[in-house]
Amino acid sequence: MPRNPSFNPSTSGSIISGNRYECMDIEMKKGEKSYKFKNSGGIKEILITIWNNKMSRIGLIILLVFLGIAMIGPILLEEPKADYLQRLKPPSREHILGTDYSGKDTLVQLILGSKDVLLVAFWAGVISIFIACTIGILSGLLGGKLDAILMMIANIVVTIPSFPVTMILSMIIKIDNEFMFGLLLSLWSWAGLAKAIRTQVLTIKHKEFIEASKILGLRKIDIIINDIIPNIISFIAVNFIVIMKDAIMASVGLMYLGLVPFQGNHWGMMIQLSLTATGALMGSGTIAYFLAPVLGIVFFQLGCFLFASGLDEALNPRLRV
């Protein structure tokens, strides 16, 4: 919820706020000003708001299930070993989802692969948000030639389709871990968000509380951290979830095309092998090996969609009824 303090220079060194912050106390130490903010909302109130929204609650539960599987699965399960005597087995009591072309248990691969999928999506989201926030906030706050240069770069990136560029970059950048895979997916997915964040900053940069912070002599970094980011945090959070969702689809696409020699149990690799090595769509009994990662992706995408939509509705006052 945006801050809207009313500024009065004669308020005995305090700025009164009606929403997020109760007050801003000013203390003089060795000729410098130090500012102390008192948050009246807090994380607890935000979590309650999110939980009370039906869409965000369902989405959060789905995402927490995937997160729990990704964290606990690798601890309890060992990497499956090839057993060609058990290859291409249909679902049974011993192998609930059957086995693949090398006799590995499909369910174990699905559980272990969830960690790879979530880590790749997480790093893609973090790096994209960092780049977009840095460029969007600096461009909107500072303006001038810097704004023109940064937005020119963003416009160029936006106009070029991301997936073909990512395909080319995947042949240039060596992908051997989740971080590098996430970096690859984020290099061409920040521009649209950066332009949107710039628009948000341009909307609030002339608000009273920003002007008050400038009059009080706060550095630009303090204004960014204490004034701008809190007002766009819900927008950033929603887009983080959306970027994760899109990153999973892009990673699966690159895996399916065989453009990323990533070692692990990534669901995209399972889909590729199910079609190329087991003939899952050709009447083979190993259709479960193909459907398992596909349904995993579908449910994770559903969780991301519900959580992002509910999060936006819960944290954006304009969308509340």
- Residues 80-98 have pLDDT tens digits of 888 888 877 878 888 888 8
- Contact assessment for residue 118 and residue 301, using Cβ atoms and an 8 Å cutoff: no
Asked if pLDDT for residue 307 goes beyond 50, the answer is yes
Q: Give residue for tokens 């920040």.
A: 190
* Summary mean pLDDT of the chain: 79
On the question of pLDDT at 65 being above 80, the answer is yes
pLDDT above 80: residue 120: yes
The pLDDT of residue 87: 79
Burial of 81 (0-12, 13-18, 19+ CB in 10 A): exposed
Q: List residues bridging with 35 in a β-sheet.
A: 26
What's the average model confidence in pLDDT over 161-167? 88
106-142 and 267-276 helices, crossing angle to 10°: 130
Answer for the pair 117, 232: CB distance below 8 angstroms, yes or no: no
pLDDT tier at 280 (50, 70, 90 boundaries)? low
Predicted confidence at residue 8, as pLDDT, reads: 42
Give the mean model confidence (pLDDT) for residues 208-215.
83
What was the pLDDT predicted at 93? Answer: 84
Kindly state the percentage of the chain with pLDDT values over 90: 25
Average of per-residue pLDDT across 297-313: 86
Question: pTM of the prediction?
Answer: 0.77
pLDDT at position 6: 41
Least confident of 16-20, 133-137, 161-165: 16-20
